[in-house]
A and B are shown apart, each in its own frame.
Chain A
Amino acid sequence: MILLWYILIPAVAAPLAWLVSRSRPDLARWVALAGTALPLALVTWQWVSQAGALKAAFVAHGPGAAGLVQGTWLADVHATWIAPLGISFFLAEDGLTLIMLVLTFAMGLLAVLASWRGITARVGFFHFMILWTTAALAGVFLSLDLFLFYFFFEMMLIPMYFVIALWGHERRVYAAIKFFIFTQASGLLMLIAILALYFIHGRATGVYTFDFTQLLGTQMPSGTAFLLMLGFFAAFAVKLPAFPLHTWLPDAHTEAPTAGSVILAGVLIKIGAYGMIRFMVPLFPQAVYDFRTIGMILAVIGIIYGAIMAYAQTDLKRLVAYTSVSHMGFVLLGIFAWNTLALQGVVVQIVCHALSTGALFILVGTLQDRIHTRDMAKMGGLWAVAPRMGGTAMFFALASLGLPGLGNFVAEFLILVGTWQVSRWAAVLGAVGLVVATVYALWMMQRAFQGQETHALRFDDLVPRETAMYAALIAALVVIGFYPQPLIATARQTVTAAQQMTAGSPLSPEAASAAQTMIVDGATADDGQ
């Protein structure tokens, strides 16, 4: 039942925020704060109290268990919904879901906090949208019925569209429509794939169902599987976003209000990664294996291209947006590598990217609120004006370039070391991406914060509310940087289960490591002579 609360609390708080805003606009902020903080507290409590259960689930069902079975969940809700069509209301939570939920509510909370002063128009409606997004996101991460998943997937799109289109910056309508069309078109491809899977499974077994656990392992010709996999891949790759489907992201991020950017970067684009791990790869392991080379090429291009594009930008927010493209390239790389190291790296990357990039977006937002521009040519030397802001920016820039000791490094290292075991050149090129990351991160610092302050800008340094937000984010990144084990342990069962679902395919780590060993042995034998 607790799972329902995760969706219901923000969903109920949403209209409430709207209603109270009619009489007292500021009260809406508090309602929204409660609507995100409450489930955050709840999920954190669940995490703490069920840490043991997670471990037990791993031990009990860990290596050797037959994949994803009921009983390995921390909690689930299974109710019939539209029985004749095989649609059920199936929510379930495991370690990865838990992490995603924490992230969702934390980012929702940050979004509310970040717009405390920035949003003044239609306050109630804004918070309605934010809370609605939060509720839909929680639903996306919780649902295991593919129809329900698609339902939430689409539901979250609409408020996001309004957030960009109503509270965005100069070219907001263009950006909002672009975002909508990209997501919607690719989402429809996924719907087609879901329906095709539904019918194929129904024809083969006579059971027409959208239940993911039953659809697993559906037999179909490899060509069909490949096409269906591409349907899922299209939706998730657009969300992620993977090169070359990323062009909506810079526009959407740049034009969205700060809260929108935070949720976009923090959670929304992570749906791509989550969906791939949860659905795409387990459903079509062989097809994913066939697609692996192309996927890795796209990932590597995304890493390097995104980084260079970030370097090329003059708009600070657009720069940060392109860094997301680069970072999500790592995530894609890790997913296609599909071994424990890489997948754990992906999980850590999901969290750390949300923290660091979310913080950068808030920073750009606070900066824009103060100096009314995002153009770096009009900045420079801001450190002298606002040293605390400069130091904070430096920290997150360094996090963004993958400095060891911060969470992003752990993530990128795990992904790359996992990738290396599958494809060496991809790992090497991914590592080259770290150099380019240095270039853009430092370039950003130089243009915005260092150098001579020439534009006579005077504004306030961080206020306590902002300092508190950044301090929390910094602390989280440092803690993950030095002790990511709680995250890793929480996600371990999910990762193991996902890998077991693909155990029969060449994607499984056993097959990969066997191949690797063969290569190594061969190489060693050759070299030895």
Chain B
Amino acid sequence: MLQLLWIVPALPAAGFVVLLLLNRHLSRRATALIGAGSVGLSAVVAILIAVSFITSPPPGDAYRQVLWTWFDTGGLAPQIAFYLDAMSVVFMVVITFVGFLIHLYSTEFMERDEGFTRFFMYMNLFVASMLVLVLADNLLLLYLGWEGVGMCSYLLIAFWQKDVQNVYCGRKAFIVTRVGDTALIVGLFLLFTQLHTLEIQPLMAGAAKNWAAGSGVAVAAAALLLGGAVGKSAQLPLQTWLPDAMAGPTPVSALIHAATMVTAGVYLIARTNVLFTLAPDVRLAVAIIGTVTLLYACFSALAQHDIKRVLAYSTMSQIGYMFLALGVAGWSAAIFHFMTHAFFKALLFLAAGVVIEALGGEHDIFKMGGLRRKLPTAFWAFIIGAASLSALPLITDGFYSKDLIIETSLGAVDGNAWLWLGALAGSLLTSIYAFRLVFVVFFGEQQTPVTLHPRWRMKLPLVVLSVLSVVGGFVWLPGWMGGFHPFETFLDTALPVTQTVAGSFAYTGVAALLTSLIAVVGVALATVWLVESRAALARFAARPTPHDVQTFWLNGWGFDWLYEHVFVIPVKWFARVARGDLVEPAFSGIAWLNLQAWRALSASQNGQLRVYIGVAGVGLAVIVAFVVLR
């Protein structure tokens, strides 16, 4: 069964190729069938492989499949090869399965769009690239997938390319992530030069063997990889592209900018955990970046009007949690949160997509309202998603994973109280903004009429994801709930076990109660402010200081402004100044000098015969003088 591994990425890739070649000759139905079908088949194969992997683990708990040698020169011989271990199984299944649900959803969501085929082409290519990323056996192939998803992200954000604003957002996403990618590829140079391979497992073994913990080269390598991860996962300071990425169609946001691509950074760090273990300083940086980002994103989310931007900031903040987990060596916890987050965030986005579609493309939450009765499926899906995002205790999958991260941030050997407090504060803010969204969108007065109701292909994914968002967390229950944790056991075959401080406060029921309480308090606060005393809130928000703060948060804390002035404007200025080429004057200068010399000499060529003779006479005099006086 495992030998079929290559089929998993090959199916969506084949879908891409077929759609590309037959582009114009396919009906919408056929396009949908190929687009969604290839991913669906891929999901089936992936699940079969996962089952096979779990029931009869291959030797060493990892399976490696070599397709061919990419190239071989100068000691560098990366292969087109896939590597399957517990972590890649999780990623593979989530990507294909959630990917399939979103494709299914898209067949209805995009059905009236003129770029229907193009959409599925890009989506299939994305899924294929993402699978290559998570299955890659070496870092170069991983980089191929990494850039491939970046490109698809660009193409899909800019999908409605008639609007230049969308194209701008796509470009911004690609360029900002590419800044991070540059750090990653430099990291690859460093790793290859030092360890003479790019294959991940030997690389990690070699690093562990040759490098001392905290050595400069390990820190440099880890820091460079972190740079790539930060760009892709929209963490500070390369986070500015993600809110703008919401310009793409909603299923794109759900698949790429919530469930899968943005978590590639998490995957990369978890995959190269050995390096990060060797570089404690960088790992601390990961934790700090995660915590700061999650708080930053929570505050920004509170101020947004655009339903998708709220969700984008919430994605950023949830990935911040994952980074926090990675930073304190909670590898498995981060992967766990990745999975639950993929379920509930895809759910939220898809539900938001239903709302947007139903209201004829309206994004502003303050023009929604009262949709509870009109769109019950979306409402319940959204409630479940928001509850999961807020980590309401026991009944949501978000609770189990986020609670685990909060626990780990204090209870792990590398954890500390500051990170823990940050995580708790984030939890409170998350519940507030999540339920602010619920209350503003679904309660109160209806502002815009509903024009469209979702049919089964949009409803089914919502239902499935709702169920998963509830039960998805039961695979890893906390210690005080009985310690049922098959997911952890499974991941432990691929990832190091988190070192915890025995008897830490974090693992007590009291701490769990505290985190649960905070989530509930957040929901309660949102209820009070938005349902009971909305007018008072509006009055408060209208005051100068809160208003300024809100604007500041709305604009993502001025990062766009900063980057615009530090990078974009100087480069544009230089480009404008240098348009005619700065070197050109040197060469035109030579030409100009020649021209002047020509002018001067041609002035002597005046056509006056007697002047010529006179000059010849002078010349004669000079020559004769030279001869006779010598």
Contacts and interface: CB of A to CB of B under 8 A. Distances in A.
**Contact, chains A and B (beta carbon distance below 8 A):** yes
Contacts of A247: 581, 583-584, 587
Contact of B147 (A403, A451, A516): A403
B186 A442 contact: no
Contacts of A410: 70-71
Contact of A527 (B69, B162, B215): B215
Q: Chain A interface: which size bin?
A: 35 or more
Of the listed residues A250, A394, A404, A434, the one surrounded by the most CB atoms of chain B closer than 10 A to its CB is A404
B182 A432 contact: yes
A311 B155 CA distance: 20
Contact of A452 (B163, B170, B215, B583): B163
Contacts of B147: 403-405, 409
A308 B576 CA distance: 10
Given A308-B571, A435-B175, A450 B72 contact: no
Contacts of B299: none
Contacts of B217: 520, 523-524, 527
Contact of B186 (A250, A344, A428, A492): A428
A398 interface: yes
A483 B188 contact: no
Contacts of A445: 167
A403 B143 CA distance: 10
Most buried by A among B68, B174, B190, B581: B581
Contacts of A246: 583
Contacts of A527: 212, 214-217
B161 interface: yes
Given A308-B575, A384-B162, A404-B143, A344 B178 contact: no
A435 B176 CA distance: 9
Q: Which of A344, A435, A453 has the most CB of B within 10 A?
A: A435
A110 B163 CA distance: 35
Interface stretch (A125-133, A219-227, A358-366, A414-422): A414-422
A439 interface: yes
B71 A485 contact: yes
Interface of chain B, main secondary structure: helix
Contact of B182 (A244, A309, A431, A526): A431
Most interface-central of A431, A453, A484 (chain B CB within 10 A):
A431
B578 A309 contact: yes
Interface stretch (B73-81, B300-308, B361-369): B73-81
Contact of A516 (B154, B182, B193, B210): B193
Contact of B576 (A312, A438, A439, A528): A312
Contact of B185 (A305, A384, A431): A431
Contacts of A309: 575, 578-579, 581
A340 interface: yes
Contact of B154 (A244, A308, A442, A483): A442
B237 to A, nearest CB: 15
Contacts of A434: 178, 182, 185
A435 B183 CA distance: 11
B603 interface: no
B41 to A, nearest CB: 22
A136 interface: no
Nearest to B568: A439
A427 interface: yes
Given A340-B74, A523-B217, A404 B586 contact: no
A313 B155 CA distance: 23
Contacts of A403: 147-148, 151
Interface string B566-596: 0000010011101101011011000000000
A452 B164 contact: yes
A443 interface: yes
A339 interface: yes
B179 interface: yes
A161 interface: no
Interface string A467-493: 000000000000000111100100010
B211 A524 contact: yes
B12 to A, nearest CB: 14
Contact of A439 (B76, B175, B578, B579): B175
Contacts of B69: 485
B168 interface: yes
B146 to A, nearest CB: 8
B232 to A, nearest CB: 14
Interface of B: 68-76, 80, 140, 143-144, 146-148, 151, 154-155, 158, 161-164, 167-168, 170-171, 174-175, 178-179, 182, 185-186, 188-190, 192-194, 210-212, 214-217, 571, 574-576, 578-579, 581, 583-584, 586-587
Interface of A: 243-244, 246-247, 250, 305, 308-309, 311-313, 339-341, 344, 381, 383-384, 394, 398, 403-405, 409-410, 413-414, 416-418, 420-421, 427-428, 431-432, 434-435, 438-439, 442-443, 445-446, 449-453, 482-485, 488, 492, 516, 520, 523-524, 526-528
21 contacts: A308-B578, A309-B575, A311-B571, A311-B575, A312-B579, A340-B75, A409-B147, A410-B70, A413-B188, A414-B73, A417-B192, A420-B193, A427-B186, A427-B189, A435-B179, A438-B178, A442-B171, A452-B162, A482-B80, A484-B70, A488-B73
Given A438-B174, A483-B68, A528-B215, 13 more contacts: A244-B583, A305-B578, A312-B578, A404-B140, A414-B73, A414-B76, A417-B76, A431-B185, A482-B80, A485-B71, A485-B72, A492-B73, A526-B216
